[in-house]
Amino acid sequence: MTLIRTIAITKRIIKQILRDHRSLAMIFVAPIIVMSLVGASFNKNPQLLNFVAPALICTFVLFFTFILTGISFLRERSQGTLDRLLTTPVSSADIMLGYSLSFFLFAFIQSNIILFFTIFVLDISYQGQIWNMFCVVILMAIVAVNLGVFISTFAKNEFQVIQFIPVLIVPQIFLSGVIQSIENLPELLQKVSKAFPLTYAVEGLRSIMIDGSNLSEISTQILALCIFAVLFVTLATLTIKR
């Protein structure tokens, strides 16, 4: 793996996304529209908004990042760009890191829009420090980027990427404490929820924003998100030649 090759791939992907108006709208406009609707929906119940906001932040970071990454990486494969790269001396690790870095840049921007729009525009109440919230959100974005790249290796078109949402995203929304507390789920589903990265992101961010916890107090959740990130990037690297 060489840094020069990785940087070259990263720059090319960044330039390509910047020329794609659909992707730019997904990054900058869609999160604002969605979070504005959330604020309007809970306008008469700010206490409920304060409770659900951490879960919604994590959910939308996962959702938007997964869509952006999965579709963007699929285009690279469908246009033959990835195949051409694989015929060069560039290693799979170079390719994976280059793509991940470029996608993460836009996921970073998007995640910050969601987080700071929720905090400052929707004006929710929170207890913990913003930089602690930022760390959890960025970890969730990293997980989503690597998940999107990995899943896109099994899709042949954009519609198939979308079809993975009911399988991968929707169950996490129902079983990760977004709608109701995990403790209220049947015992079997409580165990299943531990297999989802969104569970740990929601627990961590909610603990910071509602209880005022710091990163050391949610170290279990932080570690779990790091493990998911490493797992997905490893799987994506191994399957990148599909």
**Percentage, residues of the chain above pLDDT 90:** 53
Q: Are 59 and 173 in contact (CB under 8 A)?
A: yes
Domain count, the chain: 1
Angle between helices 46-78 and 92-116 (to 10 degrees): 150
pLDDT band for position 242 (50/70/90)?
Answer: very low
**How many Cβ atoms from other residues are within 10 Å of residue 131's Cβ?**
10
Helix (H, G, I), strand (E, B) or coil at 210: helix
What is the reported pLDDT for 230? 92
Domain housing 230: 3-239
Burial call 77-96: b when 16+ CB within 10 Å, e when fewer:
beeeebeebeeeebbbebbb
Please give the model's pTM, rounded to 2 decimal places.
0.91
Q: Are 103 and 13 in contact (CB under 8 A)?
A: yes
pLDDT band for position 57 (50/70/90)?
Answer: very high
* Residue linked to tokens 């051409």: 84
Helix (H, G, I), strand (E, B) or coil at 191: helix
Chain centre distance of CA 106: 11
List the structure tokens of 188.
């079997």
What is the reported pLDDT for 88? 74
CA distances from 12 to 80, 84, 131 (A): 15, 14, 30
